[in-house]
């Protein structure tokens, strides 16, 4: 790279969803998705803190796809399949009900923040001025910080519980649901 040129941001590589074959191992698919979400959250935090629109002008379409499609599917994977199956399989001493209730509240908070973020990103795509740039950057920071805390809970508490408690039949059903939700052909 010639001296003085800015380094390419990794946001586009973070936007690539996991390969479809990974859904045969649904907990691995969730782990990879969490890693991808953390990379995106890091990027959002870094650029929202700078309070400059330029990085978002270049990435708005990718971010909209992530927020409006990928993240919605991921929340459905968890709330419609993983969380209910964990509640069925976990022991009372696992404390899963309180953990999952907090995570579902996090999803609702993310959804609330995403409404403003998505509306502002659509304006960015159209090269329109934002009504309240400060709100945009603050919402991005709150969203990304919440994502990081949320994903920490999922990676440190939920996925280990799932590894211990879910049966092979549960995992197969979870993988099938994830594949169907994405409109992919059956894998295996």
Domains of the chain, CATH where assigned:
24-181 (1.20.120.520)
Q: What is the full per-residue pLDDT of the chain (188 aa) written as tens digits? A: 344 444 445 565 666 666 777 888 999 999 999 999 999 999 999 999 999 999 999 899 999 999 999 999 999 999 999 999 999 999 999 999 999 999 999 999 999 999 999 999 999 999 999 999 999 999 999 999 999 999 999 999 999 999 999 999 999 999 999 999 988 865 55
Other Cβ atoms less than 10 A from the Cβ of 163: the count is: 10
pTM of the model: 0.88
């Amino acid at each position: 790279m010639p001296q003085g040129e800015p380094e390419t941001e990794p946001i586009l590589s973070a936007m690539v969803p996991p390969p479809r074959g990974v859904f045969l191992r649904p907990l691995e698919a969730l782990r990879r998705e969490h890693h991808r979400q953390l990379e995106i959250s890091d990027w959002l935090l870094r650029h929202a803190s700078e309070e400059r629109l330029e990085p978002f002008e270049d990435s708005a379409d990718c971010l909209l796809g992530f927020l409006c499609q990928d993240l919605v599917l991921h929340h459905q994977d968890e709330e419609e399949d993983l969380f209910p199956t964990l509640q069925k399989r976990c022991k009372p001493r696992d404390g899963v009900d309180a953990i999952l209730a907090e995570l579902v509240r996090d999803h609702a908070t993310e959804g609330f923040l995403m409404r403003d973020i998505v509306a502002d990103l659509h304006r960015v795509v159209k090269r329109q001025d934002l009504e309240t740039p400060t709100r945009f950057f603050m919402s991005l920071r709150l969203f990304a910080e919440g994502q990081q805390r949320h994903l920490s809970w999922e990676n440190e508490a939920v996925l280990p519980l799932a590894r211990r408690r879910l049966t092979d039949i549960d995992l197969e059903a979870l993988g099938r649901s994830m594949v169907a939700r994405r409109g992919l052909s059956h894998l295996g």
